[in-house]
Structure 1
Amino acid sequence: MPSVPVTYSNEIRPRMFFRNLTLFRFSAPVAADLERLEEALPEHRLRPVGPLEMSTRGFISPLGRNEEALTHNVSHNTMVTVGGEDKLLPAAVVNDELSRRVQKIAEEEGRKISGRERKRMKDDVMNELLPRAFVRSSRMSAYADKKHGWLVLDTSSRKSAENALTQIREALGSFPAVPLAPEESPRVLMTDWVSSGDLPAGLALGDECELRDPATAAGAIARCRRQDLDTDEIREHLRNGKQVFQLGLIFDDRITFTLGEDLILRKIRFTDVVLDEQGDSHESQAAEMDANFALMALEFDRLLGKLEEWFKLPRPE
């Protein structure tokens, strides 16, 4: 009987490359403490959400479902994945059922419902509906570059990144990673890149940007996509006082991304130059994970080193 190629569903197979980067930094002494992750995480493994719970958070294997290991190490980089289970219980469903019960009491007993009783009834509705609610699973991967002091999270949401960081802190007892503290203003520097056309070596303009008037919160906004940014039209916006808040960039013809003034990297894509280095086949999913994690971390290592240089991002001491 001919063999059948192994395939993985999107639900089971981990995504190979990060699509967004939210970054934190940590010191060398903190990096040494990360060696405890492997032994600390099992007590904080994701458990199924309970019948009367809205959500749970915990660690799952970066290698995918049915794998036991909660960390994955390649060189000086350690990957972890925070998983979640959330009940889907729309407020409209709860409110409709509550309204039905309130109306029934009004019709049968001829009285109004007090605020306190209404709250109790809403809690009862929630408790009855929760066990029957659908559960949505989620996962967010991150890795710690212990050599250079980067915590790299695959998300563009600062809130989601902070929640994942909290999970790591709870597992270790303490993890003093801090947000980036650029000494060079990203907004000012990116505005200068576009207005002057003078970019650092290896960096080129992409085809999108977001320009805003920083004078007021409700200032004019200009968004450009699939457009040449080296034009008089763009420079005219800058001469009129707008600044660059997001900028599409190409790094060494290997990575394309959009950089925000918050230094979050979005829409990350590796070019064919990088993808051609992946190789065609691997003996196992673990071997494929190793190869792609190593390739991704190497590319990000070079890019983050340049971000550190361009924006002067100090590593905590």
Structure 2
Amino acid sequence: MWFKHCHLYRCHDTEVLSLEDLETALAEFAFRPVSPREARRVGWSAPAGRRSEQRVHEIQGHRLLSMLRQERLLPAAVVNDEVNERSEARELSEGQPLSRRERQLLKEQVMEELLPQAFTRTQRVELWWDTRTRLIGINASSRKRAEEVLDLLRQTLGSLKVTPLATKTPPSRGMTQWLSDPGSRPASLLLGDQVELRAAEDDGVLRARQVDLDSEEIQSLLENGRQASQLSLGSEGQLRVMLHDDLALKSLQFDDALLDEASQSDSGEDPIVSLETDFALMSQTLATFVAQLIEWLGGEADPATPTP
């Protein structure tokens, strides 16, 4: 249940739907498995899985939702091979090559026939919603997947005004400054040992792991104009992350003390209590860290006009 990644968004809606109304809205868009003719389907599921039918959990203003995404796996190579085989057979029998339109129709026919036979893959994506600060975080490895969750939430609620969280100091500029000038680092910032550096021109990307980021080699690269696009950092007693230049938090590692506290509070008898205990600790830690990160980067930038 502990997030591995977190894409952050600012919610601009002033009205917060009651827990009961939200549960009702989520039920209308509950997940159901894909049919034999469907390529993909998304819907809301209970965060605790089959152990519960509760689709939203709320702890001190923090809400936890869970989207299930199921898709049929139909490799493009399999489709193309079948299309090529059928195309050649028709061209031989008709004595002329197929037009682009005919080939496209043939591909659609092949996909329609093969889709029911394809295996399915199901993925769970969690959403954390801090209703007090109007912050949304999505546990997804890519921005595209996070936006898919927001699209479902927008459809569920009728409208949702959100924009990606942004800071006055762009993350790349802030990370580069912290690396090149140790004196500029906030006192509470813990520097890690991983970095990704990009050149001002298209000279490739340099990735370094388990290195001293204050070494002469790293400093030389910065002096030659490279900018930090990813940087491992953290805060004492909270967590460590890989900060990206779009403000995405990747590879989250929560402090051992927090994990120990969650483990000690887990009796193992009630899975719902265990889930909510973990979520309470995680959400509070994330909220504190994000607020700190915004402060490190000069405060929050004025958001662009959100799309309902």
2:250 partner amino acid: R
Unaligned runs of at least 5 residues, structure 2: none
Residue 103 of structure 1: CA displacement?
Answer: 2.2
User: Which residue of structure 2 lines up, in the alignment, with residue 293 of structure 1?
Assistant: 279
- The TM-score normalised by the length of structure 2 is 0.91
Residue 294 of structure 1: CA displacement?
Answer: 0.6
User: Which residue of structure 2 lines up, in the alignment, with residue 259 of structure 1?
Assistant: 243
How is 1:1-317 mapped onto 2 (pairs within 5 angstroms)?
16-27=1-12, 29-30=14-15, 32-33=16-17, 35=19, 36-65=21-50, 67-198=52-183, 199-214=185-200, 216=201, 218-280=202-264, 281-282=266-267, 283-311=269-297, 312-313=299-300
* Alpha-carbon distance in 1 for matches of 2:100, 2:302: 53
Contact 2:13–2:161 (Cα < 8 Å) also in 1: no
* Alpha-carbon distance in 2 for matches of 1:233, 1:259: 21
Residue 66 of structure 1: CA displacement?
Answer: 5.2
* Deviates most, 134-143 or 180-189: 180-189
- The TM-score normalised by the length of structure 1 is 0.89
Residue 314 of structure 1: CA displacement?
Answer: 5.1
* Alpha-carbon distance in 1 for matches of 2:146, 2:125: 9
Residue 257 of structure 1: CA displacement?
Answer: 0.9
1:116 partner amino acid: R
Could you say what secondary structure the match of 1:65 adopts? helix
Could you say what secondary structure the match of 2:262 adopts? coil
Q: Percent identity?
A: 36
Residue 173 of structure 1: CA displacement?
Answer: 0.4
Could you say what secondary structure the match of 1:33 adopts? coil
- CA-atom RMSD in angstroms: 1.9
* Alpha-carbon distance in 1 for matches of 2:117, 2:207: 44
Unaligned runs of at least 5 residues, structure 1: 1-15
* Alpha-carbon distance in 2 for matches of 1:315, 1:74: 29
Residue 119 of structure 1: CA displacement?
Answer: 2.1
Contact 1:307–1:313 (Cα < 8 Å) also in 2: no
The 1:131/1:156 distance shift into structure 2, 3 A limit, reads closer
